[in-house]
Structure 1
């Protein structure tokens, strides 16, 4: 049965909200925030930037929230609005009231958020698990999606290595401070999260998430993606199998653009944020005038 995300206790919720408030200080641009009602609950939205380009909507990874995009938002917001969401069903300021039990529910949720914001078509950028959610928007709300950019989309095009899944599960069962250090060194080497980021990551452990997990797309699903697609991988990622993903995309979705960053891990965005941000900004700028392709 599909679940509804919730905090484990009121104390866990209060701890998380304190950490969230501290993270807001990292956001580098003026912003407006709102809570958009949908059939699945209210979605917390942070909006920055202006310009003639189509807006970019940001979908964060597992355990994150919209604030984790603070290192890319300035570059993306130079000529367009950038909208960062706290995904319903994950720790954040969104409040889930109904389950997202089917893949299509993510498309419905996303379209309702856009309706609430008065936005027609947007570019979508997702990282890690957020890449899966971004892909679902392209599949189930294709008329609303001008392009999708994916950072480290593990499990979306090829399976996540089983050994990596087991290691993450072992960490989740006993997330000690030493375990956090070792997990970061293994999963995202070369990154240096701030103290407030780490505090928010740890506080997110007090939330029972309900955002689902990525699964490799079937061939007909890949063929159904009509939006221009960019996938960025770290060459040394331990969870994404970038070479296998690049081969499958070349065979099954030949129009997709794939960038593999030498030396990058799963935390490639944190390792080289300027490089990753510039690549995405070029891509979305090239597709501001794209129109949905016929299926």
Structure 2
């Protein structure tokens, strides 16, 4: 299966959107209420190619390269969570979205959760997919920082392959096409130069001041579903359980044989759960 077969039959557009002065790569497909997919640290919109066809049948889907990621602009400052949120809001404003369903994976969930806290009127529903930001685990942070740095600063495709396989329970899900896409992104000169800004949340002091603390999570009022792989290498199941227990009314879905990309590794199960969840909180 390739990205092209995953998107087969789907009418979509990939373009650059001016989001507050930051050129932002965006894949858009479908019609209906808006749904924005947000990827994780050092990721890109291709993380959601297995989700777009079923979701675009019911929603106006947007998958974007987040601030400093993929082919989106890379301004020279530290990418702390409020910066990501500022960029996301600028994107929503640029494409005319007042209220949105958000599905954020890892870093994307962290950003989506922060927006739901700071601007609840903008968020119709919230999916936290292996979301980061509730803990500061130095071992995990070092693994993310070191593996990404080696993959970006060394032109050995095997290091990119290893970095992508870190996300998966089954290494076969880190397809060679995804490896090639990520390797090309990683070796853009501006991506290499910008890497310290992108990885700043793996520094303990910076991460601690950006955490989704229990007090913050308790302020989320949007309908929320937490989705977690039972073999998530960057966070064990109790982390997801605490997150769901802290967010008022949140629902928790644990997916077996699944790592840090539930929407990709267990896409059939995830897509069904997501569409059922979204249907409950959509106006139509």
Match of 2:255 in 1: 261
Is the contact made by 2:161 and 2:174 (CA closer than 8 Å) also made in structure 1? no
- Of 228, 231, 234, the residue aligned with 2:226 is 231
Distance in 1 between the 2:260 and 2:4 partners? Answer: 24
Alpha-carbon distance in structure 2 between the residues aligned to 1:240 and 1:152: 8
- Over 3 Å counting, the alpha-carbon distance change for 1:196 and 1:263 in structure 2 is closer
- Distance in 1 between residues matched to 2:258 and 2:175, nearest whole Å: 19
1:122 aligns with 2:103: no
Which shows bigger deviation, 103-112 or 133-142?
A: 103-112
Q: Per the alignment, in what secondary structure is the counterpart of residue 133 of structure 1?
A: helix
Structure 1, unpaired ranges of 5+: 1-21, 291-295
Give me the whole-angstrom Cα distance separating, in 1, the residues matched to 2:162 and 2:82.
36
Gaps of 5+ in 2: 202-206
- CA-based RMSD of the aligned residues comes to 2.7
Summarize deviations over 1:250-291 as a string: whole Å, max 9, x none: 1x224111111122211333221110111111111111149x
Q: Which has the higher helix share?
A: 2
Residue 33 to residue 262, structure 1, CA distance change in 2 (3 Å): closer
Q: Partners of 1:226 and 1:101 in 2: how far apart?
A: 26
- Distance across 2 between alignment mates of 1:110 and 1:282: 25
Higher relative contact order (CA 8 A, sep 6+): 1
Superposed CA deviations along residues 57-101 of structure 1, whole A, max 9, x for unmatched, are: 111122222233111001111112101112121122x22447475
Alignment of 1:244 with 2:244, yes or no, is no
- The structural deviation recorded for 1:40 is 4.7
How does the TM-score come out when normalised to structure 2? 0.81
The counterpart of 1:169, out of the listed 132, 136, 145, is 145
Counterparts of 2:157 and 2:83, CA distance in 1: 36
Deviations 1:199-250 (A, max 9, x none): 1211232212444536531232112212111111111112112213313531
The 8 Å contact of residues 24 and 67 in structure 1, kept in 2 or not, is answered as: no
Q: 1:198 to 1:124 in 2, by over 3 A?
A: same
| Residues 1:135 and 2:113 are matched in the alignment | yes
TM score, norm. by length of structure 1: 0.78
Q: CA deviation at 1:24?
A: 7.0
2:175 is aligned to 194
Please say if 1:69 is aligned against 2:63. no
- Runs of 4+ aligned residues of structure 1 deviating over 6 Å after TM superposition are 22-25
